[in-house]
Amino acid sequence: MKFQVINRFRDTKDKGHIYEVGDKYPRKGRLNKERAETLAGTSNKYGYPFIEEIEEIEEVEENGQD
């Protein structure tokens, strides 16, 4: 799972790091699924999502053959 920030926020679980719109989440380390669900949902202190899941696009190598 990969996430992108859709609303700017200060992450109290990451030493107050500020995430700007368009940043990837998390910036380092392993993803905490419970934390990501809280930030992606509306059951947080502010009542709106801060991140959204993004699709992982697989890169396909072209070998030049038909």
- Structure confidence at residue 60 (pLDDT): 66
Residue 21 domain flag: yes
Average pLDDT in the 41-53 region? 96
Residue 41 domain flag: yes
Q: Considering its fold, how many domains does the chain have in total?
A: 1
Query: Tokens in use for 22?
Result: 């368009």
Burial class of 48 by CB neighbour count within 10 A (0 to 12, 13 to 18, 19+):
exposed
Q: What is the mean pLDDT of the chain?
A: 90
Residue 63 domain flag: no
40 pLDDT band (50/70/90 cuts)?
Answer: very high
Phi–psi pair at 17, nearest 5 degrees: -60, 135
Full residue range of the structural domain in which residue 35 is found: 2-54
Q: Is a pLDDT exceeding 80 seen at residue 31?
A: yes
pTM of the entire predicted model: 0.80
